Chain A
């Protein structure tokens, strides 16, 4: 339809009327094709693909109604106006024309004014329909493109989120397989200290927007967790990263929790997600951990509070993390599942281990008979004794170094201001993990560094006596006193001296931590304490089991640890 002229098929067995109509149509500037009966009309239609079909109702061989029905079947979505030519006047006969697939009818005697008006009207409809189809096809192409991009985003999203410890034996979760499309993300990592870290996030928006945000989120999370950063530092950094990367209006409601299996404590930070439920089994008490901060990526200002709360847990106590999917689940009557129903299930007299399934079953039963709009994300983390915790997987480090420094030494001195406010361990660990193959020993290395540093700061610089830590009250008092002393001290230091030599089979790490303190009054007892679970005295004797040698150098303000390691069997 480049110009305004159309190709019009005229099918009529009456020679007079056909001749006449052909002349009428040509006079209006259109091309004509003519057929003398229904069969010929179909043939002409196939051969010449007319824009409009004018059909006599009564024709030999195949009548107009049959012709119209067949054309409609053949062209499907394509719009071909069919106009019946008829001397019929009864309403029901005219209705029959329309029912057979006709779009209009033209009654004899023909009137050139009416014919012109009808053809013009259908030409406008054809143009409109053509435009609509073009737009529809364009939308279909865009949609296909979008689906491809979403598929790509999903693959990236899955890869980025995947290298987590999802098989940990104290973890259960339900995430929609379409999680990416509702913007929910779960990340689980292990600190070098052995603490388990989990992040549940809910991005505003979904699809690509969520995937774009998920990448820096996951990389920062896993990267920092691996290096042993504190939860607070991670939250601050995640916020800064997302604030930097995400456009305004896109952010991530999230909660981060850290389970310390040694001290049976939970650190939890909630920014914008529904309350976490901390279930204390023995006390039959549910503690809610509400959001106390802006979500990640909203603001870089002081309004953002990265400080986590600290909670005590006993073995088998559990904490539930969730996005808004559960309480926003709607039943057939349009009611929301809500907070109260959820809390009521946790209050029910059922075994702790059955709670997760009970919640999921209740939500599914509630939503029965509805089309789910938001998928449910629920995560359960259980406090277990340290020796009972199993990661369930061998997570391969993101990067497998083939080359790195093999022979070096490092001296690093922290002055008083740094000792008070800075945690040097992630930095030191970061340097050490650049050593080929040492990543697999990050837990040991972290323990050695942290214990030597704690020893230097607490006993050396602050001059505290570890026997204070033997009771819980003393433990708290001990740390209060530590803060106090560190505030008062004006001039003190802690020095790290690290030497490393390695070869193809493994290597040897020598770590000396020296402090400005006076040293020990007497050489500490280096044997392991009889019972576990004591807070004090754990440090240095524990290291002895990890290291080839551990030596306190006179006058007691220098401790040397020598750590040997070999490539693990699993090395590819």
Chain B
């Protein structure tokens, strides 16, 4: 039996839990809401071809994801940010799909850590 592949950096998570204490749940909840909002606005900007907006939202998403130890998610956001920056959104819909998928893994794993 193999260890399930984690989408989170466990060391980061451990530190966050230590620092946030009881507020860890609030952090996860906030991250979920932030992220859903960002995914929604990324969909709109990609569809509308607003490359600069894509760059900015992807940049912020990348920062938050990194802060929560979601390194794969942060890496996907960064490639989306790069597309925005180069104003070439040809591959952006596919990459955004990968971001959404990765986010569902991440948030599931985070919520699994919460009590009750």
Contact = CB atoms under 8 A, between A and B. Distances in A.
B34 interface: yes
Interface stretch (A104-112, A399-407, A411-419): A104-112
Contact of B19 (A23, A58, A87): A23
Given A27-B19, A109-B69, A19 B30 contact: yes
A20 B67 contact: yes
Interface of A: 13-17, 19-20, 23-24, 27, 58, 86-87, 108-110, 112
Interface in B37-76: 56, 59-60, 62-64, 66-69, 74
A20 B15 contact: no
Nearest to B16: A20
Contact of A16 (B12, B23, B67): B67
Contact of A14 (B20, B34, B69): B34
A14 B60 contact: yes
A87 B63 contact: yes
B27 A16 contact: yes
Contact of A13 (B19, B27, B60, B69): B60
A13 B67 CA distance: 15
A19 B66 contact: no
Nearest to B15: A112
Given A19-B27, A19-B30, A23-B19, A109 B67 contact: yes
Interface of B: 12, 15-16, 19-20, 23, 26-27, 30-31, 33-35, 56, 59-60, 62-64, 66-69, 74
30 contacts: A14-B34, A14-B63, A15-B33, A16-B30, A16-B31, A16-B64, A16-B67, A17-B64, A17-B67, A19-B23, A19-B26, A19-B30, A20-B16, A20-B67, A20-B68, A23-B20, A23-B23, A23-B27, A27-B19, A58-B59, A86-B63, A87-B62, A108-B63, A108-B64, A108-B67, A109-B63, A109-B66, A109-B67, A109-B69, A112-B15
B77 to A, nearest CB: 9
Q: Chain B at the A interface: mostly helix, strand, loop or mixed?
A: helix
Contacts of A109: 12, 63, 66-69, 74
A20 B63 contact: no
A108 B62 CA distance: 9
A15 B63 contact: no
Contacts of B15: 112
A16 B59 CA distance: 14
Contacts of B64: 14, 16-17, 108
Contact of A15 (B20, B30, B66, B74): B30
A15 B23 CA distance: 13
Contacts of A23: 19-20, 23, 27
A27 B18 CA distance: 10
Among B30, B59, B66, B67, chain A packs the most CB atoms within 10 A around the CB of B67
Contacts of B34: 14-16
A253 B71 CA distance: 82
Contacts of B27: 16, 19-20, 23
A352 to B, nearest CB: 86
B86 to A, nearest CB: 13
B40 to A, nearest CB: 15
Nearest to A87: B63
B62 A58 contact: no
A60 to B, nearest CB: 10
A24 B18 CA distance: 10
